[in-house]
């Protein structure tokens, strides 16, 4: 069974530029999560989707971050404009349903210069 797929794996951009991350969850997983992980810290939830509905986006900085999961499968997380403090690893995870075990993708390492 294929795991969670994310791309790109690495991204370097200049501040104020836009950036987008893509995630393909494990087949059949209805719940998708985007996490932010800073160096030396645990992942922090940004947004959780149940199918195509965002059910928890309370930690998403909505002035610059946006996310979508139009068909309830793949998801895209966007930052516009990026700031220096956005440099981190962005992890996508999925689970069969809410409350079930989450499986993480390899993450996208973002560096904002």
Binding site for other proteins (CB under 8 A): 31, 33, 40-45, 48, 50, 55-56, 91, 98-99, 101-107
Comparing CB distances to other proteins, the nearer of 78 and 104 is 104
Q: Rounded distance, CA 41 to CA 22, Å? A: 22
CB-based contacts of 6, cutoff 8 Å, min separation 6: 21, 22, 23, 24, 90, 91, 92, 105, 106, 107, 108
Q: Rounded distance, CA 88 to CA 24, Å? A: 20
CB 99, min distance to other proteins, A: 5
CB 80, min distance to other proteins, A: 25
Distances (CA, A) of 108 to 9, 20, 71, 89, 98: 4, 10, 22, 5, 23
Comparing CB distances to other proteins, the nearer of 16 and 62 is 62
CB 16, min distance to other proteins, A: 27
CB 2, min distance to other proteins, A: 14
Comparing CB distances to other proteins, the nearer of 50 and 74 is 50
């Amino acid at each position: 069974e294929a795991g969670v797929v994310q791309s790109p794996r690495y991204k370097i951009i200049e501040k104020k530029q836009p950036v987008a991350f893509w995630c393909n969850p494990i087949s059949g997983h209805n719940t998708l999560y985007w996490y932010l992980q800073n160096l030396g810290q645990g992942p922090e939830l940004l947004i959780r989707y149940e199918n195509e509905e965002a059910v928890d986006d309370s930690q998403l900085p909505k002035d610059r971050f946006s996310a979508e999961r139009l068909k309830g499968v793949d998801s895209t997380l966007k930052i516009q404009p990026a700031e220096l403090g956005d440099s981190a690893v962005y992890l996508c995870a999925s689970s069969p349903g809410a409350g079930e075990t989450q499986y993480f993708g390899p993450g996208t390492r973002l560096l904002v210069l």
